[in-house]
Amino acid sequence: MRTRVHHAGTVTVLAAVAVATSTAPAWAQAHDHEAPAGAAPSGGLAVVIHCLSLLATAAAVATAWGGGRAERSRTSVAAVVAAVADIGAIQACGTAVVPSVLLALGTLALPWLVTRPRAALALGAVIGAGRVLQAVPDGSPARALTAVGLLAAMCCVGAISAMLAGRRGAGPVALGPVATGAALVTAGVATASCVRGEVRLDATLLWFTFGWLSVAYFGLAAVAVTVGPASRRLQAVTAAAALVAGVGLVGVPLPPAPADVGIPMVRQVDAAGHRLPVLVTPQRPGWNLVHVGADDVRVGLDPGRLAAAGARPGTTGSWGLVRLPAGRSRLWLAHGGATASLAVDTGRAGPGPDVTTPDGPECASASLGAVLAGAGRPLATCPAQELTAEDADALRAMVSFIAGRGVTAISVRSDDSPRGVAARQLVEAAAAAEKLRVTDPGDHPLLVVSGWAAAETTLRAVAADRLPAQGSYLAPWLLTGPLLAIPSGPLLPLRFDVRDDAPTAYLTELSELFPLEPPTGIGYLTWMRQRAVPAGPLRLYAAGQLFVPGAGGHDHQSTTWVPHGTVTAVSGQLP
């Protein structure tokens, strides 16, 4: 007898070690900022394997504890199923080898403990905890809550299975409260999961697999509580089904957070194993500009009729126009052969600013800066709709700086936007005051005061020597990496140094909210005003690329102001 008890204690300790070694990487992953949000072993096979493992473990422990020698064969069958699921999880779910093997060995020891119910129960509790923590692969509060629910569902299934197996010495009176209490905990966890905000309790809930599983989880847990002693078999079935739904919740991605009504929206969606950032501007009834941080994307309201989202000059990622109805609707995206969706809510206040023009991405960048700063209000206007007083002062100072270099003429490139027209008129007036001629491009400075789209065409022509210029002087709103990366010798007037603390903080927040999105002067200024960051002195800055010997061919993508380069002050304070 002592030998059997000693062996049972040894196996229990080994199983506890398996639990510890299996949970350490998982809980560490919860604090690893490189891991994708909500990372979990996904796919139908992973869910099936975890369900088999948990249900078989509950059955094995119940029969080992409740049936005595007569139930050894049933215990053996359940233990073998659970052990095989453990080994299969190594390949299908990516679980660690050593913990999975230890859990499998511990499960296979259960049939030998049918005459030692206390030892079987202790070993089963450790094994069950280990399997739940393998099925719930990170330590986030949402997943931890799910783990509690799965453990409770396992206890409910196990207690009822033991009662049905004819547990001697305890009987229905002892096990009934255990089963009902575990079912109550399962129902409580299901309720808490909904209340804590993972899903919104409205019609949009059923737009996502997570929503259907949440409803099933809550409903089945509620049935398990309601049925109670009236039908232990039905209670066992519903508790087991709730356990399956709970495992499914771990295996599917969380739905995007509900949309804030009528304001620009940033969300991340899962498609083809990738977490894609999505920006919807202005999220008002009518035409909206949808920006996705990936290439080869299609967007629309009908998953069967999605339109390609293409590249835009001066930007990265994909851009598409979608006409959204008033109120709530479902926006679909396709990427890499997979589709995903998110809920949008445009409200009833009417359309927002026009984002269908070539300057739409600038408007989106401004809205992204506002969202980043927590503005929480509708988009009222777009940058290209007016020339601000600050930008007007910067253009005058730049013309004065050019005049001080002894040149006699300049050329100007603008566009037909309200800002472009006003900027050209201001530059011409400032040039006249400085006695500079405004003429066609040639061997003199070129001032670019258009939007991003026209500026890219101009700068590429300068870089290819198709457009003569003695230096390219850019308007402040043209501070964006894709434009500054064009080798045209760009200079521009700014009231901040990109290496200062505030621009660095903006860059960090941007990379977290919308990974790999290039920072822009427009986005930063919107963020800066919302955060009440004071502007610095006006200086002229030059953008240049850095070429490090031996670094060619290694493109490490990251969020920077200038790809492979920097922005450096080349003047003192401008008047």
Rounded CA gap, 121 and 114, in Å? 10
> What CATH number is attached to the domain comprising 340?
2.60.40
Per-residue model confidence (pLDDT) at position 535:
93
Q: Are residues 73 and 111 in the same domain?
A: yes
CB atoms within 10 A of CB 400: 16
C-beta separation of 306 from 298 below 8 A: yes
Is the residue at 529 inside a domain?
Answer: no
Q: Are residues 338 and 482 in the same domain?
A: no
Return averaged pLDDT per consecutive 10 residues of the chain, 575 residues in all: 39 34 32 33 57 65 57 70 73 69 73 67 70 60 64 65 53 55 67 56 61 73 65 69 66 64 91 88 96 96 94 96 93 92 88 95 97 91 96 97 95 97 98 96 96 97 95 97 92 95 95 94 96 95 68 51 89 91
Per-residue model confidence (pLDDT) at position 553:
43
Q: What single-letter amino acid sits at 460? A: R
Range of the domain at 206: 2-28+38-251
Q: Are residues 245 and 272 in the same domain?
A: no
Strand, helix or coil at 437?
Answer: strand
Is the residue at 503 inside a domain?
Answer: no
C-beta separation of 309 from 450 below 8 A: no
| Among candidate residues 445, 455, 388, 402, the one with its CA nearest the CA of residue 571 | 402
CB atoms within 10 A of CB 135: 28
Q: Are residues 13 and 136 in the same domain?
A: yes
Q: Are residues 338 and 398 in the same domain?
A: no
Rounded CA gap, 80 and 76, in Å? 6
Per-residue model confidence (pLDDT) at position 159:
65
C-beta separation of 224 from 187 below 8 A: yes
Q: Are residues 243 and 271 in the same domain?
A: no
Strand partners, 276: 269
Q: Are residues 436 and 299 in the same domain?
A: no
Burial code (b: 16+ CB inside 10 Å, e: under 16) for 184-208 equals bbbbbbbeebbeeebbeeeebbebb
Provide φ and ψ at 338, rounded to 5°.
-120, 155
Q: Are residues 446 and 556 in the same domain?
A: yes
Q: Are residues 174 and 318 in the same domain?
A: no
Angle in degrees, CA 218, 224, 227, rounded to 5: 135
Is the residue at 203 inside a domain?
Answer: yes
Is the residue at 376 inside a domain?
Answer: no
| Among candidate residues 63, 271, 300, the one with its CA nearest the CA of residue 163 | 63
For residue 22, what are its two tokens? 């299996």
Distance separating the N- and C-terminal Cα atoms of the chain: 94
Per-residue model confidence (pLDDT) at position 239:
67
Angle in degrees, CA 151, 14, 126, rounded to 5: 15
Per-residue model confidence (pLDDT) at position 168:
42
Tally of domains within the chain:
3
Residue-wise DSSP of 40-56? ---SHHHHHHHHHHHHH
Q: Are residues 396 and 299 in the same domain?
A: no
Per-residue model confidence (pLDDT) at position 15:
35
C-beta separation of 333 from 276 below 8 A: yes
Is the residue at 163 inside a domain?
Answer: yes
Rounded CA gap, 257 and 198, in Å? 7
Q: What single-letter amino acid sits at 479? A: L
DSSP 254: P
Burial code (b: 16+ CB inside 10 Å, e: under 16) for 136-164 equals bbbbbebbebbbbbbbbbbbbbbbbbbbb
Return all residues near 498 (Cβ < 8 A) that are at least 6 apart.
Answer: 504, 507, 519, 561, 566, 567
> What CATH number is attached to the domain comprising 443?
3.40.50.2300
Burial code (b: 16+ CB inside 10 Å, e: under 16) for 96-128 equals beebbbbbbbbbbbbbbbbebbebbbbbbbbbb
- Sign of the alpha-carbon torsion through 425, 430, 433, 438: negative
Tracing tokens 């999505």 back to the chain, one arrives at 278
Which of 357, 376, 397 delimits the end of a domain? 357
Is the residue at 527 inside a domain?
Answer: no
Rounded CA gap, 342 and 267, in Å? 8
Is the residue at 363 inside a domain?
Answer: no
Q: Are residues 312 and 238 in the same domain?
A: no
Is the residue at 131 inside a domain?
Answer: yes
C-beta separation of 412 from 441 below 8 A: no
CB atoms within 10 A of CB 444: 19
| pTM, two decimal places | 0.68
Q: Are residues 166 and 202 in the same domain?
A: yes
